[in-house]
Structure formats: C-alpha cells, structure tokens
Amino acid sequence: MADAQVRPIRIALIGAGTVGSKVASLMLEQAEDLEARSGAPLVLVGVGVKDATKSRPGIPKELITADVPGLLAKDIDIVVEVMGGIEPARTHILDAMSRGISVVTANKELLARDGATLAAAAEKNNVDLYYEASVAGAIPILRPLRESLVGDRVKKILGIVNGTTNYILTKMDETGASFKDALSEAQKLGYAETDPSADVEGKDAAAKAAIVAQLAFHTRVTIDDVYCEGITKVSASDVKAAKEMGFVIKLLAIAERLDDESIVVRVHPAMIPRSHPLASVREAFNAVFVEAEAAGSLMFYGRGAGGAPTASAVLGDLVAVARNRMSGRRGPGESIYADLKVKPVSEAMTSYYISLQVADKPGVLAQISQKIADNNVSIQTVRQDGLENDAQLVIRTHKALEKDLAKTLEDLRNLDAVREISDYMRVEGED
Amino acid sequence: MADAQVRPIRIALIGAGTVGSKVASLMLEQAEDLEARSGAPLVLVGVGVKDATKSRPGIPKELITADVPGLLAKDIDIVVEVMGGIEPARTHILDAMSRGISVVTANKELLARDGATLAAAAEKNNVDLYYEASVAGAIPILRPLRESLVGDRVKKILGIVNGTTNYILTKMDETGASFKDALSEAQKLGYAETDPSADVEGKDAAAKAAIVAQLAFHTRVTIDDVYCEGITKVSASDVKAAKEMGFVIKLLAIAERLDDESIVVRVHPAMIPRSHPLASVREAFNAVFVEAEAAGSLMFYGRGAGGAPTASAVLGDLVAVARNRMSGRRGPGESIYADLKVKPVSEAMTSYYISLQVADKPGVLAQISQKIADNNVSIQTVRQDGLENDAQLVIRTHKALEKDLAKTLEDLRNLDAVREISDYMRVEGED
C-alpha cells in the first residue's frame, strides 16, 4: 500500500460522454486498486464539459465545470482528454502540456491529423502523451508495438479496426443482406450512427491506420498519407462470390514495408481466406494481425469500442503515466527516427479478384490473357462459365503493383470482347 | 539518433542454445535499429556457456566464455539469461543483481518456482527484472497484463500456453489419432522432445499459469499452487465425443477470480465449444484469452516457442530495460499487493461432461439423477442411447464446485446400475 504521506496524483477529465462517464465512475469505484497499482492516490479534481448544466449520471455534480482553463490551473498532474474532435481538444491539450501536465487521450482524429504538434509539445514540456485508447478500444496494440516489438522488425499489419463496418460485413456474410439493409440493422442496434459516413467510408479506420503505422515503422504518418476506400460499394454479389471461393470480405487497415524499405498505408475492403485468423473476427469485434521478422504472426483481438472497453485502455495509460510522475520521468517519447518514405497506394503490391462478362467466341481468352500480361500482371487462376451468348470469367491474379492492376482493369474495360467488369476486389492474407 | 557521446549499454548473454544464438545474431544484425530505439548502442560484451569449446554458429568465438562470474564483473548493465533451469541460472541472476545489473530472462521454471527470491533481489539492488519471453514466446501477454490492463480487474484467464500439447491435440482432432501416435509424429517433426514429460504432463503450462496468474491478480502464485493434469489420458474416443458435441479438447491454463475474491489456478484438458476463439488456435500456436471487467474479452495469439519468436520477446524487454537504464530508473516492480487467497482446485467452479454405461432397466435414470442432485450438481442435458442390454448416458452438468463434481463421479461409480464411467472431462468457455 502507498505511504500515507504520498502526494496524490491530481487528475482532470475533459469530456463526459460514454467513455468519460465510464472513466470517472471506474476511477471512483476502483480507487483503492488504482492507488495500490500507481503508488499514489489518483484524485479526480474536475470534469470539463461544454455544457455544465446537463446531468451526468455517475459524476458528482460539484466536479463538473465548463471552465476547462480554470480546471487546468488547479495544480493538475494528468489530463485525460476524451471529448474527441480537433478543436477545442487540441487547444486544451496544448494548454495542459504548457503547464507541465501529462496527457492521456483517446482522440484518434486529432492524433492522426496533427500528432506532430502534440508530440513536439510533449517533448518541449517534458510530459507524457499516451493514447492506447485511440486505436481498437480495449485491445492493447499500441503498447505491444511500442514496447514488446521494439526489438523486432514489423513487416506488415492487417487490422480490423472499425466495429461498425465489421458488424455490417458480418451481417452481409451471414444473411446475404445488401449493404443498405445491413447498415439499417446496425443503426437500429446502435452499432452505427445516424450519419454513418466516418465509419462506412473508412475515415475512422484510416485515422487508426496512421497511428498504428507510425508506431510500427518509426516514421511520421498522418491521415493524409493513408489511401482510403470504404465499404459502401461492397455488394451482396461481392459477398456471395467471396463466399463461394472460401473467402470473406473485411474492411482492412493495412500498413506494410515494401522491399525498398518504403511503406504504404491503406484502408479498403479486401477478400481474405476463411482460414485466416482475421476471418473469424465477427460482429463489432476488432483485431490486429501483425507480421514481424522474428516474432512471426501475432494477433490481438477484443472489443474495439464502447464506454467500458475504451475506459479500460484509458485507465491503463493513466496508471502508467501516474507511475512515471511518481518516479519523476516520462515514458518513451515519439519515435520517428527511421523516417521511411511513405508511398502512395499505386506502389503497393496486392492481388486482385476480377469477374467479367465477355463474348463467348474463339480467341477472347487469349486476348484477355495477353492484355493482362502486357501490364506485368500474372494470372493465378481463371475459371470460365457459359452464360447464354456470353461467358463469365473469374480471374485471380498473382501479386502485382497496384498501379499495374488498375491499368489492367482499365485496359480490360476498353476491350470490345469485354461486356462488363462485374466485380473486382483486392485479396489479402494469402502469404 | 543517439548522441555519439552516449555511453553504450553493456550486455552479457547467458545461454547460447536456440534462443540465445538468435538473440545474439539479432543483436548484431539489428544493432542500428536497436540503438535508435534504445537511445544508446547495445553492446554484446560476452556470452556465458557451460562448454566454451562447443562451436556456436553466429556468435563470434571471442565472445564465448565459460567463466560467467568473470563475465559479470566486466561492468555489465544488463544480463540476458536464456539458459533455463533452476541452477546455476538462479545463482548467476542473483550474482548479477548484487552487482547492480538488470536482468532479462525467459526462465519460466525458475520464476514459477522461486520468483519471490528474484523479485526481492531486484528490489533490494534497485534493478529491473523483465521476463516477457517466459510465457507464450513472442506473444506480448505479460506487458499487457502488467501495464495495459493495470486499470482494470481481470476476472478469468484461459490460455493455450504449450505448443507441444496443442500440436498433439490438433492432430488427434484432425486425424482421429491416438495420443501415442500423435506424440510420435510431434517428436518426429521436432515439436516434442525425446522425453516429452514436462510438456505432456502439463508442468510447462503450470509454470506459465503461475507467472500469468501472479501478474493478473497481483498475488504471489508459485507452481506449487497450480493444480496440474496433463493430456496423457486423453483418448481418441474423448476427442471423438467432443467433436460430435461441437467441442474441441485443449490443454488449458486457467486462472480465475472466485466470487469471494480468492483465486484458483489450474492446468488440465478441457472441452471448449468450436465457436470459442481459442478453438481455432491450432498446431503449435499459443493464445491467451483474458476476461476483464471493463475491457471485456481479449485474445492474444501467436507463436509460443522457437528461437526467433522467443528472441523477439527478449529483445523487446532488452530495449525497455536499456531505456530505463538511460533514464536512471527501473520499471514497475513486482505487484503482489492484493494478496488474494489461492484456493485448491476443489474450490473451482466448473462443469463436467460425463459418459457412462448403465443397466437399461426402469428407474436407473431416476436413481442417477438423484445421486447427482444429492451432490448439489444440476444437470444441463442428458442423452440416452440403447446399447444391447445396457444404455449409454451422456450427461452435461451445469457449473458446480469441483469437489462436488468429483464426489458425484465417485458416487456414480459405486452405483450397481452403473457398469462403467467411460469418459468425463471438464467443459470451459461456455459463459
């Protein structure tokens, strides 16, 4: 037990939504455990909110204030920022750091947009900036990348980091529903918001991809570096085709090291084999699959969102930062020493599934195969089915440059013998 | 990049087997990255071995020495101990600590047997004791428990932490092989040792269970506190019966908090539903499933053994300890403040699958049901099949006290109407 003479660690919470309320109530309920594990009592000094008149169940009324600068002036040691969004969160965080206050945040949007400013302020003021809760909720993924794998070389990361889209894709896979119907169901059940665009267009996943890639490759990555394609165009027939081939469609956040030591970071739907560990990540669960040179394949799985899981990650950081305060030092700061080149998605190596309707006459397959070969793409498998006067061709390519694959699609579309490219999708998780 | 004036961190390695050789070669190959991430060059000063005349591929000859105390006297900062076993590993580690040297070890046997002595010496000499590699190889599980979940309350841990037995059980499940045949195959492929007893009798898993339980519950746990039952009695017919019911048999390391805030730690084979995330952990892979109050269900998956994966975990610890040295402090020490009571397996709550052959005559089912109820056990399902003059009964119980279940089995065995209890096994992962 901590010594009775130990000075308490004074905490200010900014934001009292789902996550903030849970953080506050867990801090009060588990005060004794948190004290024993931190080495000092953790005292919640106040909770900064936009509207102080609103009732906040579980948070004592006298702690609530709309005057955040006033709260930060109260000899605070650690600020927990869970209000989200760029402003005023950034101003509050920078204000706190300039006062020597360490920061725990779950703000993926701000970190992916302007992490450099926050990291520089943390460095300058010699304070901590911890943000485990910003990616994949309760799943410890940043700390393992930052610490456990720090002696290894990460090759590739494949993550399911958005629960809403994974829920929708799971329903489409299980029931054959259309995107629209699966989205409605997700909205009814509270898995998707009324305006679902940040989730279904992949922006939320892209912010997380930037944060994870920066840690994994010791290189500055912002959301502007991330290629982003959502799931709004995934159709019931795509899902069905994947199923028939033994695949499942997931929205993946992918960060990978290329042969020339550059990296590419991208978010898009992809087919993965049903035998892949990520394939069994269903409903609103998240998981991050990491391939490292010495460690091999690792996977981290759990709840990626929700008040309690996110609060668990926040409290883990809070105890770590409190321990650092106690020992008068800060944890490892930002690491971007490797400074690898971040290339656009056109330089990624990937493989495609392409389904096309073609005229069923002699020489068509030869013509198509030639066009594909002309673009430096090689065919892995091809299947042809009769379809009245037409034929359906299903082609799986080997890995090739994304830009060569895009050019291949364009060239195929321009062939007279090709009636339509019905479907195409990237394939991951096969190597 | 580290300043040219920075004093190098001097490392001694003890043990040059599969793991030690890989640690040495990775340290040499990735010296630049390790320096950038640690903040100082990590210099391998020497490698202590029992037999200095043996050739060690990948380790420069001039680094090898049989004089470990002499090596430790060379102004060493960090010792990496990967020789394994109780002695002389313990003597070397305590010697190192008394000289102010921090320790990174993969020695599960020593930690589970005498972790208290090591922790006390680390405390007394103000040095670090890190041991991520001791459990589940490359999978970061100790650091997440120690740091990420430090603000949460762990309820239960279910782990597949022994690759040899998981390989054997996977083969039995896939091919219907007997334990003996699957073991032979594992030995041929190098997944099992010539003397497989530490693995198949559960001792290896029990040591890891003790280490994980101690961290999760902030309570001293040694291998003597762990109930241990291996897989040598798992038969092909057990595996088949599990399969028919939609279950799979795994050797589980289980640590759980009971309602009265005591804990039970146990290793034994158990049936788990095929839909459970642990069911798809196949071959020699490991995984640890954690249920925490706020975080919910988490799973950590990866390679649990082998030179490179274990070396990855060792290097992660090495960088962490090097950073601590640089900032002149130590990481969080042993946390056993909660001091929960560790109860014997008889106090665990579990449920059983029981298959018995009974006389096929009126009143037998009533008699058996009564006997089960008399022991405070309630039946979840029962299935009866005719079998010439006998009948086969397959009973699944609800959760009950292990000691009541054991008494139930004994009482059933003594009933005249019961010809034989063909099979019984604990069931996990259903709640």
Residues whose CB falls within 8 Å of the CB of residue A157, separated by 6 or more in sequence, listed in order: A212, A213, A216, A253, A254, A255, A256, A288, A289, A290, A291
CATH of domain B142-303: 3.30.360.10
CATH of domain B9-138+308-326: 3.40.50.720
The domains of chain A are located at: 9-137+308-326, 142-304, 348-427
Predicted local distance difference test score (pLDDT) of residue B2: 44
Residues of A in contact with B322 (CB under 8 A): none
Residues of A in contact with B325 (CB under 8 A): none
Instruction: Read off the pLDDT of residues A252-275 as tens digits, 9 standing for 90 and up.
Output: 999 999 999 999 999 999 999 998
Complex confidence, ipTM:
0.90
Q: How far off is chain A from B288, nearest CA to CA, in Å?
A: 10
Q: How far off is chain B from A275, nearest CA to CA, in Å?
A: 9
- For residue A138, what is the nearest residue in chain B, using CA coordinates? B295
Q: Name which of A349, A351, A353 is nearest A395 in CA terms.
A: A353
Predicted local distance difference test score (pLDDT) of residue B1: 44
Angle B179-188/B163-175 helices, nearest 10 degrees? 120
Residues of A in contact with B277 (CB under 8 A): 280, 301
Identify the residue whose tokens are 């959760």.
B399
Q: How far off is chain B from A157, nearest CA to CA, in Å?
A: 14
Instruction: Read off the pLDDT of residues A66-116 as tens digits, 9 standing for 90 and up.
Output: 999 999 999 999 999 999 999 999 999 999 999 999 999 999 999 999 999
Query: Cβ of A302 and B297 within 8 Å?
Result: yes
How confident is the model over A221-245, as a mean pLDDT? 96
Q: Which of B28, B298, B329 to probe by mutation at the A interface, max A CB count within 10 Å?
A: B298
% of chain A exceeding 70 in pLDDT: 99
Do A139 and A302 meet the contact criterion of CB atoms below 8 Å apart?
yes
Predicted local distance difference test score (pLDDT) of residue A2: 44
Phi and psi at residue B30, in whole multiples of 5°? Answer: -105, 30
Instruction: Read off the pLDDT of residues A106-115 as tens digits, 9 standing for 90 and up.
Output: 999 999 999 9
Equal fold, B142-303 vs B348-427: no
Instruction: Read off the pLDDT of residues A39-56 as tens digits, 9 standing for 90 and up.
Output: 999 999 999 999 999 988
Minimum-distance CB partner of B26 among A148, A294, A316? A294
How confident is the model over A354-358, as a mean pLDDT? 93
Query: Cβ of B149 and A140 within 8 Å?
Result: yes
Predicted local distance difference test score (pLDDT) of residue B259: 95
Number of Cβ within 10 Å of residue A106's Cβ equals: 26
Query: Cβ of B1 and A332 within 8 Å?
Result: no
Query: Cβ of B148 and A335 within 8 Å?
Result: no
Q: Which residues pair with B398 in a beta bridge?
A: none
Minimum-distance CB partner of A301 among B140, B292, B299? B299
Q: How far off is chain B from A332, nearest CA to CA, in Å?
A: 8
Q: Name which of A65, A34, A32, A33 is nearest A48 in CA terms.
A: A65
Do A257 and A155 meet the contact criterion of CB atoms below 8 Å apart?
yes
pLDDT band at A4 (very low <50, low <70, confident <90, very high): low
Strand segments (E) across B205-295: 227-228, 247-257, 263-273, 285-292
Number of Cβ within 10 Å of residue B390's Cβ equals: 18
Q: Which residues pair with B352 in a beta bridge?
A: B426
- For residue A154, what is the nearest residue in chain B, using CA coordinates? B312
Domain covering A9-137+308-326: architecture: 3-Layer(aba) Sandwich (3.40)
Residues of B in contact with A323 (CB under 8 A): 332
Residues whose CB falls within 8 Å of the CB of residue A414, separated by 6 or more in sequence, listed in order: none
**What is the spatial distance between Cα B411 and Cα B405, in angstroms, rounded to a whole number?**
10
pLDDT in tens, chain B (431 residues): 445 578 999 999 999 999 999 999 999 999 999 999 999 999 999 999 999 999 888 899 999 999 999 999 999 999 999 999 999 999 999 999 999 999 999 999 999 999 999 999 999 999 999 999 999 988 999 999 988 998 999 999 999 999 999 999 999 999 999 999 999 999 999 999 999 999 999 999 999 999 999 999 999 999 999 999 999 999 999 999 999 999 999 999 999 999 999 999 999 999 999 989 999 999 999 999 999 999 999 999 999 888 999 999 999 999 999 999 988 888 888 899 999 999 999 999 999 999 999 998 888 999 999 999 999 999 999 988 876 778 889 999 999 999 999 999 999 999 999 999 988 999 999 87
**What is the spatial distance between Cα B31 and Cα B59, in angstroms, rounded to a whole number?**
14
Residues whose CB falls within 8 Å of the CB of residue B374, separated by 6 or more in sequence, listed in order: B411
DSSP H stretches of helix in B10-53:
18-29, 31-38
The CATH fold assigned to A142-304 is Dihydrodipicolinate Reductase; domain 2 (3.30.360)
**Can you read off the two tokens belonging to residue A52?**
């102080």
Residues of A in contact with B139 (CB under 8 A): 298
Q: Name which of A80, A246, A242, A87 is nearest B151 in CA terms.
A: A80
Amino acid residing at B330: R
Least confident piece of the model among A323-337, A403-417, B402-416: A323-337
Query: Which are the catalytic amino acids of A?
Result: 208
Instruction: Give CA separation, A248 vs A27, A179, B119, B215, B248, in Å.
Output: 41, 15, 48, 37, 24
Q: Name which of B91, B142, B141, B99 is nearest B117 in CA terms.
A: B91
Domain covering B348-427: architecture: 2-Layer Sandwich (3.30)
Q: Which residues pair with A292 in a beta bridge?
A: A154, A296
